[in-house]
A and B are shown apart, each in its own frame.
Chain A
Amino acid sequence: MKNKIIDATKIIGWGVDADPENEPTYPIKKYTGDDHKRSQWTRPSLQPAKVEILKSTERPYLPAVFGTPYPPRALSGVFRRLAFTFSESMNRRWLLLILADRMDVVEGLISDVLHARFPNLVKERGLGVMLKHKPGMFARKVAIRLVILGLIGGIVYYNKRKNNL
């Protein structure tokens, strides 16, 4: 069955209890009724899209302005494009984006090395100030990492020995 277009004003009792003073969103919102005109405003000039801009499926066109830095790249970009085929209401959209963010970190490291720049991880992670102000926390972090490295090292060594036997 097809849906009919309904003229609400023809419905008996339509709007008899509407109270313009009852506007619970005020003062966050200064209600003007513009909502009901939907997208009828005079749009600003439109920024030309010179790089790839991913657009939410929940809007029909690009907004007047947008950021252009860091368009999707490499493998993380593939995942970002895939994420943007789902609406904002789908969890998988956001999980794919988080996954892409983690890939992007690795791509960032590779790109640093390719540009002959070796990231100073101690400085980037602010470990110096941590040692100064919270030495206990610093020691804990170092210890956890050493244990993990030790475990990995142990497993590798064990497997090697097993294979050699």
Chain B
Amino acid sequence: MDYRGPYRVRATEKPHPVIEHPEDCIVRVTRSCICGSDLHLYHGLVPDTRVGSTFGHEFIGIVEEIGSEVQKLKVGDHVLVPFNISCGRCAFCKQELYGNCHESNPEATAVGGIFGYSHTAGGFNGGQAEYVRVPFADVGPTVIPPDMDPDDALLLTDVVPTAYQACEMGGIKKGDTVVIFGAGPIGIMAAKCAWLFGPSRVIVIDHIDYRLEFVRNYAPCEAYSFKEMDDVVEFVKKTTDWFGADVCIDAVGCEASGDGWQTLTGRKLLIQAGSATALHWAINSVKKGGIVSIVGVYGPTGNIIPIGNVVNKGITIRANQASVKRLLPRLIEHVQSGRLNPKGIITHRIPLEDVADGYRIFSEKMDNCIKTVLIPPSAKR
């Protein structure tokens, strides 16, 4: 795929990627996904998104070529590739912060390298393509277990680890009430994963009815539309005996709707780094001493949030890009045992050539879309 500007993408023939570092490999992509994070790029909200870029940080594929220092991975391996690019040996990787590697992004220290996620995340081309260059081949890429469905493997590159980490950072304890903002792929999967930590209630809030209906059955959980509420925070307080949720998860990020002022300043005028409506609600809906876990993505400048309430209520805020590699062993177990069924959220399969349609459908939440998979022409043969 080829980014041409906000709301404009197309499929173009591009040069075959080459090995640029002895620890690189080249992967022939068999499937990739469009992610909610890609929408921030598609909408032109991520600084330093250069025209011509290939997006795509959720992909699996077959190793076609390896660099001279690659030892573990072999040509022909079918691998899932974590969305973060990590060296495995810097101070951050050593502490399993694989999403915060210090050796993969020259352009910004505020974020590690990510495939196909603008020059602000390292300037790497992504996996919504036929071939992709994958650095540190022995660190990130993981051979897909033979008994695993490739679609499940595909969702282990980002959606499941992000959702799981959102719950983990929330420090969910047995008996807790968890409120999740957003019923996109991440919020839906977070509702599913939350149960693994033993809460007594899982509540999802969004405004798109088909998504609320989906998560109600898939997780399963309670799901409510904020369109039908006068005041979201009051609703959460009321349903928790006027106490507040034990844990709130922001699975929406910088393109939240629901508050005209936030939308105007964050998404139209770009005075703040996106609209922080969901985060605002999360902070105000959590109990005193509660935990707010953020996986929704925000820009590098600043946002208007009620930080005073964070102080006065003694709230703990935890957030990060998911550390996919750290979580994979546990999550593979969950998938193999049937506790998680990631591929259940895939609703659309679109040929890579029609990538523009795929983006529009997901962006506009058309045709009951939850998760879209792109199939490159070379994978269909």
Which chain A residues have a beta carbon within 8 Å of chain B's beta carbons? 24, 27-32, 34-35, 37-45, 47, 53-56, 58-59, 62-70, 80, 83-84, 88, 91, 94-95, 97-98, 100-102, 104-105, 107-109, 119-121, 123-130, 133-134, 137
Contacts and interface: CB of A to CB of B under 8 A. Distances in A.
A28 B169 contact: yes
Given A64-B104, A101-B47, A32 B52 contact: no
Question: Max chain B CB contacts within 10 Å: which of A32, A43, A104, A126?
Answer: A126
10 contacts: A39-B91, A44-B23, A58-B108, A64-B104, A65-B135, A70-B51, A94-B301, A97-B120, A101-B48, A133-B366
A69 B107 contact: no
Contacts of A119: 4, 8, 10
A114 to B, nearest CB: 14
Contacts of B165: 28
Contacts, number: 202
A66 B320 contact: no
Nearest to A53: B106
A30 B301 contact: no
Nearest to B293: A28
B356 A124 contact: yes
Contact of B366 (A101, A102, A134): A134
For chain B, the bracket of interface size reads 35 or more
B56 to A, nearest CB: 13
B360 A63 contact: no
A109 B4 CA distance: 8
A54 B106 contact: yes
Contacts of A63: 87, 102-106, 113
Interface SS, A side? loop
A98 B106 CA distance: 18
B356 A88 contact: no
Contacts of B8: 105, 119, 121, 124-125
Given A44-B23, A69-B53, A125-B360, 8 more contacts: A43-B89, A63-B103, A63-B113, A64-B103, A88-B300, A105-B5, A126-B7, A126-B360
Q: Sort A-B residue pairs by CB-CB distance and give the 8 closest, nearest first.
A: A126-B360, A67-B123, A105-B5, A67-B124, A97-B47, A108-B51, A133-B366, A65-B135
A27 B169 CA distance: 8
B289 interface: no
Contacts of A37: 91
Contacts of B47: 94-95, 97-98, 101
A95 to B, nearest CB: 8
Given A45-B69, A88-B300, A133-B367, A29 B96 contact: yes
